Amino acid sequence: MQNPEYDAVVVGSGPNGLAAAITIQQQGLKVLLVEGKSTIGGGLRSAELTLPGFLHDICSAVHPLAAGSPFFKTLPLADHGLQFLYPSLAAAHPFEGGHAAVLSKNLAVTLDSLGKDAAAYRSLIEPLLEYWPLIVNDVLGPLHFPSHPLKMAQFGLKALQPLTTLVRRFKDPFARGLLAGMGAHAIQPLENTATAAIALVLSITGHLQGWPVPQGGSQQIANALAGYFTSLGGRIVTDTHISRLEQLPSHRALLLDVTPKQLLEIAGHRFSSFYKWQLEKYRYGMGVFKIDWALSAPIPFTAAACREAGTVHIGNTIGEITQAERQTAAGHHPDRPFVLLAQQSLMDPSRAPEGKHTAWAYCHVPNGSKKDMTAAIEGQVERFAPGFRNTILARHTFNTEELENYNPNYIGGDINGGIIDVRQLFARPALRRSPYRTSAKGIYICSSSTPPGGGVHGMCGFYAAKCALSDIFNVKLPPLAGATL
């Protein structure tokens, strides 16, 4: 190609698209970032969804992986306005009877909440905390020979277990329930292989750094990434939906922050029949039903710890959570779903008018479900916070169809870019030497449908860009340095 207009074009301005664009622009190349919506961010957007003055995170809300991302840590995002705010407790898990198990940066606080299982939890988590900085790049990256194979093997022996197996070492409900709530972030039945991985990663990040929210809303992460990208000379265009390759200016490399469904629509005619077949077989997981509330007061949780935590996992015992996730995966809507709830205004008063508050929550539902889960979610919150309904001033809801209409990457309400079970943990979106390369030269996928999967960390975009730089521009990037949390 003679004198292309851009060295690289990136489609989609979610955290991975932004990370890919930054990584290539850092090499002094000419990069265009194209976004279909009027604002950048993908899952990183905030808006007044309920009442004037109440700022809600439309998609993602709490960001332990962003604050601990080895790639984001290399960027001067604070210089572009990003500030993370940390609650005194990262997460709390209430039980009937008024007690709550907690995840705290202070390990002793967590241990105090776990009763008779404190010693067993310490023996599980302390070794992982010690060597996590050595393996974080390997965990949050594509399948490859690890830099610290023995440490990675020690982690893998625990992480590849089903969550229900990992917690057998505990006797009381508190540690079992706490880890079940962490494991439910995997959005699949807790009996599935490797569901322990997400529980351990989230617990480790909570102990090492906490689970923060960005001051001023999740949009501020996207704004900071975009600000840094444009400061390097990168260009962003919005309101430009891409449905076919012919819409794009000439370029040497194309990186698409999309899932396999859109990848096939945009560039399928350029792919080999085998690669197309692999993409067509890609599986999406459960969806979510989401609520944002404008509140007259903080949520009146019975357990005091829940009134301090940025995140609250509502599901009671591991038995209840396991049953709810199993039912949902089978296509049903449990009466008592597992609810993931965030209280951003406790840390960030800018989210609501003085004296008022916001809250954000979702439960898992079958992929493509249009069922209104408002009553079920609010019933679960009321169960552990009597009087909660009396604080509600207004609410806004998203079912799976509305979420997908808002963000096309959320196929059927799946916020992880495809189920992250053992079959699609590393072979996502296809089993290839590099998961980021498509079968068409110069076209790459950089979304959460590639390793390491969902979450705001930018690692999918970084690794896809690293691959493109090597293939197209003969630029070999070194491993990320200083990967600590």
Q: What does the pLDDT look like over 213-266, one tens digit per residue?
A: 999 999 999 999 999 999 999 999 999 999 999 999 999 999 999 999 999 999
Pick the closest to residue 336 from 319, 358, 311, 355 (CA basis): 319
Percent of the chain past pLDDT 70, that is, above it, reads 99
Average pLDDT over residues 446-475: 97
What the block records as the tokens of 22 is 């930054």
Q: What does the pLDDT look like over 378-397, one tens digit per residue?
A: 999 999 999 999 999 999 99
Read off the pTM: 0.96
Average pLDDT over residues 53-66: 97
Q: Give 169-172's long-range contacts (Cβ < 8 A, gap of 24+).
A: 169/120, 169/124, 170/117, 170/120, 170/121, 171/116, 171/117, 171/120, 172/114, 172/115, 172/116, 172/117
pLDDT at residue 1 above 70? no
pLDDT value, residue 253 = 98
For the chain, the straight-line distance linking the first and the last C-alpha, in angstroms and rounded, comes to 42
Strand partners, 95: none
pLDDT value, residue 97 = 93
Domains in the chain (CATH in brackets) are 6-82+214-282+416-473 (3.50.50.60), 84-203+285-406 (3.90.660)
At residue 40, the 3 state secondary structure works out as: coil
pLDDT at residue 144 above 50? yes
